[in-house]
Amino acid sequence: MSYKRWIFAAIFLFGVGLVFGLATPAGTVSLLAEDIAALKELGDFLASLPLALVVVIIFLKNASVLLLSFVFSPIFCLLPILTLTVNGWLLAFISVIVSQEKSLGFVLAGLLPHGVFELPALILGEAAALSFGAMAVILILKKESRTVLWSTVRRDVGHVLLALALFFIVGIFHTIIIVALMEKQTRDPLMVNLKQNLKYLVIALALLLPAAIIETYITPLLLR
The closest alpha carbon to 146, from 109, 190, 186, belongs to 186
Q: What is the mean pLDDT of residues 141-169?
A: 52
Do 189 and 197 meet the contact criterion of CB atoms below 8 Å apart? no
- pLDDT, residue 36, reads 62
Res. 221: pLDDT tops 70: yes
List, for residues 207-216, the tens digit of each pLDDT value. 998 888 888 8
| Cα–Cα separations (whole angstroms), residue 96 to 67, 87, 117 | 29, 14, 22
Question: Band of the pLDDT at 50, cuts 50, 70, 90?
Answer: confident
Single pTM value for the model: 0.76
Question: Which residues, including other chains, have CB under 8 Å from residue 187's CB and lie 6 or more apart?
Answer: 180, 181
Question: Band of the pLDDT at 13, cuts 50, 70, 90?
Answer: very high
Q: What is the mean pLDDT of residues 180-196?
A: 66
